[in-house]
Amino acid sequence: MKKAKIYKPNKTAMQSGLGKIDKWVLEFKTKDPTRNPLMGWESSSDTYSELKLEFTTKELAITYAKKNKIDFEVIESKQRKVVKKSYADNFLN
């Protein structure tokens, strides 16, 4: 049976905004990761590990997994805590 994880990806360090993080990803877990002896890369004979499916909502991803009989785990993302501060706050305390 295939196993997958459903998660909302974090923004990359190269982004300053919050664009392109509104999608949910279904990613299959690798069964047998091995190390390539020549280059030292991690590789696998499992081709599902190369597949990442994007969905607009978490519910669509869960529905897809259930429809295709995929064992899945939903990983909820942590909400960012935004503290609004003004420049003058640096001098008030």
Structural domain spans, the chain: 3-9+21-33+42-92
What's the CA gap between 29 and 9, in Å, rounded?
15
Q: What is the pLDDT along the chain (93 residues), one digit of tens a residue?
A: 689 999 998 877 776 666 667 899 999 987 777 777 788 787 777 778 788 999 999 999 999 999 999 999 999 988 778 788 888 888 886
Please tell me the distance from the alpha carbon of residue 2 to that of residue 69, in angstroms, as a whole number.
8
At the topology level of CATH, where does 3-9+21-33+42-92 sit? Double Stranded RNA Binding Domain (3.30.160)
pTM attached to this predicted model = 0.69
Strand-pair partners of 3: 71
